Amino acid sequence: MKNWLASALKGILALAFGILILLKPSESIVLLATYFGIFALAGGLIALGYAFRIRQKGGNGTFWFIEGSTNILIGLIIIFYPHISISIFIAFFGIWAIIIAILQLSTYNRLRALNMNGGLILFNGILSLVVGLLLLFNPFEGAMIIAIIIGVYAIIYALFTLYTAFKYASAN
């Protein structure tokens, strides 16, 4: 298969992925959370298996046992309760954005005290605060916005990839 054809196929897949996310953003977020839960569960099973193998050889597999058990527990919670898991993750992201906003607004105040222009820092601080509050007090809507951003990005990426692939194909 030629390089341009592989690139075109990648672009088509990215385009389909982006369109599917935009058509059903809430289902997409739940599906991504479920995939992450499966990943955590599988990783936990692998770590647990490794812990037992170390134990069989006379070693101390406590760390691997704790890690594996924790991953299995988190994976199962995410798989069986994806909406709650998404809300918790988005709420933590919201708290992080609010902390960043406080730090940026504090930096702006220090710059202003030194008679320095900190307009962009002020803008970032206010934006971070608004996003943080939105995510903290309405986490599922925040997840939907993130899904839409991912969908739009995938479509833009797909269009550029397809354009490049077909431009390369016509040159050869």
Both structure tokens of 114 = 């030194």
pLDDT tens-digit profile of 31-85?
Answer: 878 888 898 899 999 989 988 988 899 988 898 899 999 999 999 998 999 888 8
**Predicted structure pTM score:** 0.60
Domain total in the chain:
1
pLDDT tens-digit profile of 93-151?
Answer: 889 889 999 998 998 888 888 877 778 888 989 998 998 898 888 877 877 888 888 88
Quote the domain boundaries for residue 160: 3-171
| CB burial of residue 102 (10 Å; 0-12, 13-18, 19+) | middle
Asked if pLDDT for residue 1 goes beyond 50, the answer is no
